[in-house]
């Protein structure tokens, strides 16, 4: 097992299942893990805003008896005051792990290359693997065996969609991405997912037609406008409105469960009726960020899953 977690592909099916089992254990028996990170310090670095990721790591690490140090861009953008390489080399002299939310995946590759401590991707342009772990923990809580389900993602096919696609393929879940033309997930990542899915008996379908989501057990959406984009939600609406997660779509597909990574934009990618409705597991997902990440940190720092 790699000591880093930057694409999500570091875990195969059996390791990913062990990680989810550990997360579930930690959620149910928190007292048994209250000192699991005692004496350990984790730097959490953010080039972009965050609510869930920042707090779920900080509070989660605290619940394991560890210490989280938040770093934003107050000392200037990464790589401007000193190189990313030197940044990584220095942090590794004090800290036990580095969690980083960055604009470009390349920054994570450089951090990981020069870091003797585990580096965790907490969102980049290509992936959001911690989110996908929390989402599959949630799906496992709802459905049990996730290899039996079909998950349909609607909207912008970038980071969150791409990590879900890869983890679905790893865990053997069928995955459908329904995205407008020009917004499908990255072709290379789709190819990778197809290869992994074939090994694990799962299917991958990329479509711009809503009908492809019919029969899905769960529907998932994310913002139409990601952090760092200068498109407005009003502009995005013209392209994405047919892909809105609303009551009619829920009825058309027959899905029993609704997921959203948040931050959500009510009235845009999801309606309030659906977000606050009985099928939404959105706050369960947010809570599970902490449990999934705690398990991940333990696995990487204590080499607990091999």
Give the residues lining the site for ligand CP (CB under 6 A).
50-53, 123, 131, 261-263
Report the distance separating Cα 1 and Cα 16, nearest Å: 11
Is 130 one of the annotated active-site residues of the chain?
Answer: no
H/E stretch holding 132: helix 129-143
288 contacts ligand NVA (rule: CB under 6 A): no
Q: What's the min distance (Å) between Cβ of 191 and ligand NVA? A: 21
In the bound state, the residue with its beta carbon closest to ligand CP is 53
Is 58 one of the annotated active-site residues of the chain?
Answer: no
Residues 183 and 162 sit within 8 Å (Cβ to Cβ): no
Is 124 one of the annotated active-site residues of the chain?
Answer: no
Closer residue to ligand NVA in complex, CB, 115/138: 138
Q: Collect contacts of 108-111 with beta carbons under 8 A, ≥24 apart.
A: 108/6, 109/6, 110/84, 110/85, 111/84, 111/87
Report the distance separating Cα 60 and Cα 293, nearest Å: 8
Helix (H/G/I), strand (E/B), else coil: 25: helix
Report the distance separating Cα 29 and Cα 148, nearest Å: 27
H/E stretch holding 173: none
Q: Could you say which residues in the range 152-181 bind ligand NVA, by CB under 6 A?
A: 158-160
What Å distances lie between residue 64 and 81, 135, 208, 278, CA to CA?
33, 21, 43, 32
Q: Which of 174, 222, 245, 292 is close enough to bind ligand NVA by CB under 6 A? A: 222
Question: Within its chain, how far is the Cα of 6 from the centroid?
Answer: 11
Name the DSSP letter for residue 270: B
Binding mask 234-273 for ligand NVA (x = CB under 6 A): ---------------------------x------------
Q: Annotated catalytic residue: which of 54, 128, 183, 260? A: 128
Closer residue to ligand CP in complex, CB, 192/262: 262
Q: Which of 138, 192, 221, 223 is close enough to bind ligand NVA by CB under 6 A? A: 223
Q: Could you say which residues in the range 70-109 bind ligand NVA, by CB under 6 A?
A: none
Q: Annotated catalytic residue: which of 183, 222, 281, 291? A: 222
Q: What's the min distance (Å) between Cβ of 50 and ligand NVA? A: 8
Helix (H/G/I), strand (E/B), else coil: 44: strand
Q: What's the min distance (Å) between Cβ of 133 and ligand CP? A: 12
Name the DSSP letter for residue 208: S
Q: Annotated catalytic residue: which of 4, 260, 281, 289? A: 289
Binding window for ligand NVA (CB under 6 A); candidates: 177-185, 189-197, 205-213, 221-229? 221-229
Is 281 one of the annotated active-site residues of the chain?
Answer: no
Is 284 one of the annotated active-site residues of the chain?
Answer: no
Name the DSSP letter for residue 219: E
What Å distances lie between residue 122 and 45, 51, 73, 203, 274, CA to CA?
9, 12, 16, 27, 27
Closer residue to ligand NVA in complex, CB, 96/222: 222
Q: Annotated catalytic residue: which of 261, 281, 285, 293? A: 261
Is 128 one of the annotated active-site residues of the chain?
Answer: yes
Q: Which residues bind ligand NVA (CB under 6 A)?
A: 123, 158-160, 222-223, 226-227, 261
Residue numbers annotated as active site: 101, 128, 131, 222, 261, 289
């Amino acid at each position: 097992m790699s000591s880093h977690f930057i694409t999500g592909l570091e875990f195969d099916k059996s390791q990913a299942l062990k990680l989810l089992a550990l997360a579930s254990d930690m959620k149910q028996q928190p007292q048994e893990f209250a000192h699991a990170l005692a004496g350990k310090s984790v730097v959490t670095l953010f080039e972009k805003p965050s609510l869930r990721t920042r707090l779920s790591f900080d509070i989660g690490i605290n619940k394991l008896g560890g210490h989280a140090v938040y770093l934003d861009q107050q000392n200037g953008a990464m790589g401007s005051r000193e190189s990313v390489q030197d940044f990584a080399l220095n942090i590794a002299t004090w800290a036990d792990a580095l969690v980083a939310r960055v604009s470009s995946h390349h920054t994570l590759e450089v951090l990981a290359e020069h870091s003797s401590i585990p580096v965790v991707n907490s969102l980049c342009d290509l992936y959001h693997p911690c989110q996908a772990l929390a989402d599959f923990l949630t799906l496992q809580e709802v459905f049990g065996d996730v290899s039996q389900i079909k998950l349909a993602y609607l909207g912008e096919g970038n980071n969150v969609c791409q990590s879900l696609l890869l983890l679905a393929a790893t865990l053997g879940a069928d995955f459908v991405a329904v995205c407008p033309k020009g917004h499908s997930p990255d072709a290379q990542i789709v190819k990778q997912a197809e290869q992994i899915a074939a090994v694990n008996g799962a299917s991958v379908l990329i479509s711009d037609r809503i009908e492809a989501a019919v029969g899905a057990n769960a529907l998932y959406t994310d913002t139409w406008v990601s952090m760092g984009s200068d498109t407005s939600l009003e502009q995005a609406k013209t392209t994405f409105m047919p892909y809105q997660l609303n009551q009619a779509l829920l009825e058309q597909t027959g899905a029993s469960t609704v997921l959203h990574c948040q931050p959500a934009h009510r009235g845009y990618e999801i309606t309030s009726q659906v977000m606050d409705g009985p099928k939404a597991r959105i706050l369960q997902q947010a809570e599970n960020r902490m449990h999934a990440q705690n398990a991940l940190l333990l696995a990487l720092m204590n080499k607990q899953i091999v």
